[in-house]
Structure formats: structure tokens, C-alpha cells
Amino acid sequence: MGGYRFLEDVAIADVAFEAWGADLADLLTAAGEATFAVMVDLAAVPAEMSHRVRLEAPDPEALLFAWLEELIYRKDVDSAVFSRFAVTVTEGPPLTLDATCTGAPIRQERMPMRADVKAVTYHLFAVERGQDGWQARVVLDI
Amino acid sequence: MEVKTTMEVKRISEYVWEIPPTEKPGMLVPARIIASAELLAEMDRGVFEQITNVACLPGIYRYAICMPDGHWGYGFPIGGVAAFDVKEGVISPGGIGFDINCGMRLLRTNLTEAEVRPRLRELVDGLYRAVPAGVGVKGFVKLSKSQFQDVMVQGAGWCIRNGYGWPEDEGRIEDGGRIAWADPSVISARAVERGIGQLGTLGSGNHYLEIQVLYPENVFEPEVAAALGLNLPNQVVVMFHCGSRGFGHQVATDYLQVFARAMPRYGIRVSDRELACAPFQSPEGQEYFGAMACAANSAFANRQVITHRIREVFGDVFQRDPRELGLEMIYDVAHNIAKVERYTLDGEERELLVHRKGATRSFGPGEPGLPPPFDRLGQPVIVGGSMETGSFLLVGTRGAMEEAFGSTAHGSGRTMSRTAARKKTHGRDLLKRLEEKGIMVRAASYEGVAEEAGFAYKDISRVAEAVEAAGLSRRVALLKPIGNVKG
């Protein structure tokens, strides 16, 4: 299980969020949701299409970064937003992510759209493992 | 007066402040901030941290500079300007920004407010339909891969030759709308895929397209204004702010990764990953420069095709040829870019790589390469304010060449977070209030509108006053919005 919240005072010109999860898969799910929640009301996104993502990375930080970078890239290439993610992570090494992202092509008249995300940044970027699971902080360029 | 740093900030003159290199280990040059005392006191802590980090970069010359609209950014602060020796210095994507060649374009018209007001709703709706804006929307220019490569190399010129614009537009764009060293071979497939479908899109966030009015009381230099095409009381102009879209964002993302891997090989360490850099003369540095130019040209092209659509919409609404409506370019400027430029400073002529991140070129009269009438007047500078306060047209000065590597500010800078702005007002309420004030807005996102409310930004007039007082550019006109399209 996981979740996210936006950090109000951290990134004035852009958006910062904190995400957490019991395991890495939950963390990545929450971070994916947070990223798209910046762009659209997730509840308004129907399940019309899905896209599979497979990624490898040497460590959890690199994996989270590559995952969010892929989602932002996909948003522009497919002109689509994703609201549900089914993520599995295998330890390896390397860390491997296999995810199915479900969402829909962007249609402004039926989905309340928000701000566009240009990029995931390294600003204040952090991924940590604690007693209760994983936490991450991400700043997105709007 | 309190500033948000414990580092020493010395006052060099009324509008110039300096943090000495002794204030942070690794600083090679001082860090300068151009601002009034009030603007300096408002600057966030990140500005001081980041501009002093920039002052540590290898090969930096003279000083790192932050403009009066400065606020924290990625690596460099927004409003950051830094010049590097072309042989010994580095190039840093954080000194250009994710939105490569985000910039401003201004068109004039022969129309007055009285002629436009009755058709304002039609115009704003027409522009909203004709210029796709918002998250992930597709552009109206369909390109094959090979055409996209042509756009990367030819910039605005490709658009003009393919029916999107007038031949005389080229002379009214920074660098003629085409940066010469673009190299499509160093662009990743990923960047191509991300960008190819977005030519002819406005973007979202703080990007916008505005119909504005020049009221007589807002003309600062009537002769210069007239020479630039602003010659009617209550003249209507069109200004817009947008950049290279997903293409530029991906190029920046790609090269930040390339540089992160390359830096250890060059013995460079930075305190902030967003300040990743490489020697300008290294293969990686040169490739990024070539890739940056491709993205910059795509942004010039984007603004060019949008210009074409603006002309079409005005033509349709007024049922007249756009040429008859006088819809000529005034100018187009980049405010996220790096250029190799020559300066005579400290008695020597130097070739410098100048980074401008959220800063605009501000070349003065007599600068080589400026076509008439700018060779006589200085180049136009367009600095964007909020949708309530308006935006400025200024001209560049010789002072900018001497003091700030030919640079000036770019806009007003935010004062509160997007979340805080959304809590303070609802988009729908704001639109109603704006309409009551005579400003008609069409937006793809109500939340986006709230985030862009005037109260979320510094007062652009104070920024413009500061750059004029510091001798970097002179105010020509304040342009007030009456119509706005947002993504």
C-alpha cells in the first residue's frame, strides 16, 4: 500500500511531492499516480488503453527516476494520461520493473486537465528505505 | 535590510549587489545580483545558494549574475546568466533550462481597442481553437521524420518556406529564427518521438497567448515605440510565450544524464546534480550544444507556425487580409539558451559562451548582426508579466553589453507556490473577476488559471524599473492584456 502528498512550500514555480509505499512497487505506483495527478483529475480518466513498461536500473533512485521519465515521455508520445498502475519490481541485480499503465487519450472536453509536466528533476530528489517501507521526494518541472 | 542568506552581500551600486568569492568554498568569481533593495530582500534562499554554486563552475568569467526577477531553479536560478571561456569553460544544461528557447514573440496590428473589443470574444475563442494548448495536445503541423530534421536545422525559415509566415518575419527574430550549429545527428530517437507531434502547440503552465493594448499613458519612449511599429493610441498587439515543448524537455533530460556520466571523466564535481556540465570543447559539450540548437530552432519554428495561425484567426474574424490588418512581427526573443558571443571587456576582445536561463538577450545599438532598425535602436526585449499586470517591451543597451553579458530579465517571477495559489482562488471565480476587469480568458484548465493569477507573481513594473535603472534595457511600452489564451 502506498500514497502521496504534494509539498506546498518546496517548489514555488513547479511541483514537489512525497510518495511512500510498503515496498518499491507500491512506491513507484504512488509516484506514478502523483505525477499524473499534477496533470489531470485521476478519477476522470477512463480505462481505454494500456501500455507496458519494462525498465532496469542499478538502484532504487535510478529506477524511480527512469520510471517517471518514461511516464512523462509516454504522455507526450501517446498524448495520453495514465491513472492506474500495476507494478512489479524484481530485485535482480539489476532492479527490474515491469508495469502496466492504464489510462486514456487526452480529451480536454471530458477530463479536467491541469498543468503539463515537462520533466522529472534531480532537485531534492531522494529515495529512502525506512522501518515502515519506502519514501521518496520528487520535484517536477512544470 | 534582511536578505535570505547568511553569506555577505555587498552593495556595489544602487542596483548591483555582490557576494564575494570568499563566501563559499569553490567560488572562482563573485556572484552578482541585479535588483532593487526591495526585490533583493524578497528573493528566496535558493537564489543565493544557486548563483554562488554557478560561480564555482570551471572556466566561468568575471561573475555569475542573477536578474531582478530571479528565483530558485534547477542548477542555475531562474534569471541566471553566466559566461564561460569558450576554450576552458563548461556548458551546463541547467544554465539553459528544460524548456530550451522558451521565449516571447510580439506582433503588432493596425487595430485599436475600440475596433477589437466588439470582436474580442470571437478572437479569443478563435485563437483558443486554432492554437492547441494544454497537456499533451497534438500540434497542427504534421511532420515526417525528415521534415522534423529540416525544422531542427532551419528553424523559423522552414516554416516560412512552407507557407507559415512572411519572408520579412525572419529579420524580426533573434538570430533570424535559426541557430546555425544545429546537429540533428546528436538528437536521441526518444526526443524525436516526443517532439514530432507537437509543432504548433502553446504548452501550459505559464505559457500564454495574449491580446494586449498599448494605452498612451503606457508609452515610455514614443519615438522608439513608433520605430518599432507601435504608432497608434490604444493600439492592439498580440504577444505569446512558449518554447520547444516535449522536444526541448527531452533533449535537456537526455543531456543531463549524458553529462552526469561524463563529468567524472573530466574531473568535474558539482554540489547539485542539476548543475551537471561538461567542458564546452568536449565531445559531449559540443553534442549538447548542437542538440540545444535543434531544440531552439524547433521553438522558433513553433512560434512561427503559431504566428501564422494568429494571422489567420484575425483575418477570419475581421474578414480582411492579415497584411491589411498590419499583423507584422515586432520581435521574437529566447530566454532559455546559450550562445557564443564576443565581448570587449577588461580591454580585451573575448569569445564567451553565455548561458541565459530565464534571462533575455539585450543587445544595444551598434551590435554586429542586428538588422535595421535594431542596429540604431538596440534590439527589442519582451518581458512577460502576469495576465493581470501586463508585459513590457524594452530595448537593449550598451550598458547590458558592459555589465551583464548583453542580458536582462525575462519576466516577473513567482511569489507563491502553485498549490498556494489554487487554495487562494478558484479558477472559475478568477475568470469572472478578470472578465469584470475587461480581460477575457479562455483556458484549457481552470486550475491552471488559478495558478497563474496575478497575485502569484512579482510586480513586473518593479522588475522593468530595476533593469532600466541598472542600465541593462530601457522601457519602451507597457502592454496591458484584454484577451488571454492559456493551456
Any domain includes A4: no
Residue A77 touches chain B, beta carbons under 8 Å: yes
- In chain A, the residue whose alpha carbon lies closest to the alpha carbon of B198 is A76
CA distance A54 to chain B (A): 15
Q: How far apart are the first and last CA of chain B?
A: 39
Residue B362 touches chain A, beta carbons under 8 Å: no
Q: Enumerate the residues of chain A whose CB falls inside 8 A of the CB of residue B193.
A: 73, 77
Separation CA B298–CA B37 (nearest Å): 38
Averaged confidence pLDDT in chain B: 96
pLDDT-above-70 percentage for chain A: 98
Range of the structural domain that residue A29 is part of: 14-141
B354-366 burial code (b ≥16 CB/10 A, e <16): bbbbbbbbbbbbe
CA distance A133 to chain B (A): 26
The model's pLDDT over A61-101, given as tens digits with 9 standing for 90+, comes to 999 999 999 999 999 999 999 999 999 999 989 999 999 99
Any domain includes A133: yes
Q: Give the confidence band of B4 by pLDDT, cuts at 50, 70, 90.
A: very high
In this structure, what C-alpha cell is assigned to residue B210?
495574449
Inter-chain contact A12–B72, Cβ cutoff 8 Å?
Answer: yes
The model's pLDDT over B19-77, given as tens digits with 9 standing for 90+, comes to 999 999 999 999 999 999 999 999 999 999 999 999 999 999 999 999 999 999 999 99
**Lowest model confidence (mean pLDDT) among B89-93, B132-136, B248-252:** B132-136
Q: Enumerate the residues of chain B whose CB falls inside 8 A of the CB of residue A81.
A: 135-136
Any domain includes A87: yes
Q: Give the confidence band of B436 by pLDDT, cuts at 50, 70, 90.
A: very high
Inter-chain contact B73–A13, Cβ cutoff 8 Å?
Answer: yes
Strands (E), B86-119: 90-91, 103-112
| pLDDT at res. A13 | 66
Separation CA B277–CA B266 (nearest Å): 10
DSSP state of B267: T
Interface of A with B in 14-43 (CB under 8 A): 14-15, 39-40
Separation CA B244–CA A119 (nearest Å): 13
Q: Give the confidence band of B473 by pLDDT, cuts at 50, 70, 90.
A: very high
**CB distance A30 to A5 below 8 Å:** no
Q: Give the confidence band of A1 by pLDDT, cuts at 50, 70, 90.
A: confident
- In chain A, the residue whose alpha carbon lies closest to the alpha carbon of B76 is A123
Q: Give the confidence band of A11 by pLDDT, cuts at 50, 70, 90.
A: low
Q: Enumerate the residues of chain A whose CB falls inside 8 A of the CB of residue B414.
A: 12-13
| pLDDT at res. B413 | 80
Q: Is B118 exposed, middle or buried (0-12, 13-18, 19+ CB in 10 A)?
A: exposed
Bridging pattern class, strands B208-214 and A95-105: unpaired
Nearest CB partner across the interface for A79, out of B138, B205, B416: B138
Any domain includes A9: no
The yes-or-no verdict on residue A29 having pLDDT over 80 is yes
Any domain includes A128: yes
Q: Enumerate the residues of chain A whose CB falls inside 8 A of the CB of residue B451.
A: 115
Catalytic residues of B: 410
- In chain B, the residue whose alpha carbon lies closest to the alpha carbon of A125 is B273
Total domain count, chain A = 1
What CATH code is carried by the domain that includes residue A76?
Answer: 3.55.10.10
Any domain includes A58: yes
Residue A61 touches chain B, beta carbons under 8 Å: no
Separation CA A54–CA A69 (nearest Å): 13
The model's pLDDT over A99-118, given as tens digits with 9 standing for 90+, comes to 999 999 999 888 889 999 99
Inter-chain contact B138–A112, Cβ cutoff 8 Å?
Answer: no
Nearest CB partner across the interface for B253, out of A12, A13, A119: A119
Any domain includes A1: no
Residue B238 — φ and ψ, nearest 5°? Answer: -125, 130
| pLDDT at res. A131 | 92
Give the distance from CA B32 to its chain's centroid: 20
The model's pLDDT over B364-407, given as tens digits with 9 standing for 90+, comes to 999 998 999 999 999 999 999 988 889 999 999 999 999 999 99
- Let me know how long chain B is: 487
Q: Is B264 exposed, middle or buried (0-12, 13-18, 19+ CB in 10 A)?
A: exposed
Return the residue in A69, A71, A114 with the most chain B beta carbons within 10 A, the one to mutate for interface testing: A114
**Of B93, B358, B299, B286, which Cα lies nearest the Cα of B177?**
B299
Separation CA A13–CA A10 (nearest Å): 9
Any domain includes A2: no
Residue A122 touches chain B, beta carbons under 8 Å: yes
**CB distance A54 to A63 below 8 Å:** no
| pLDDT at res. B328 | 98
The model's pLDDT over B248-306, given as tens digits with 9 standing for 90+, comes to 999 999 999 999 999 999 999 998 999 999 999 999 999 999 999 999 999 999 999 99
**Of B237, B71, B246, B269, which Cα lies nearest the Cα of B148?**
B246
Inter-chain contact B71–A13, Cβ cutoff 8 Å?
Answer: yes
Separation CA B476–CA B296 (nearest Å): 27
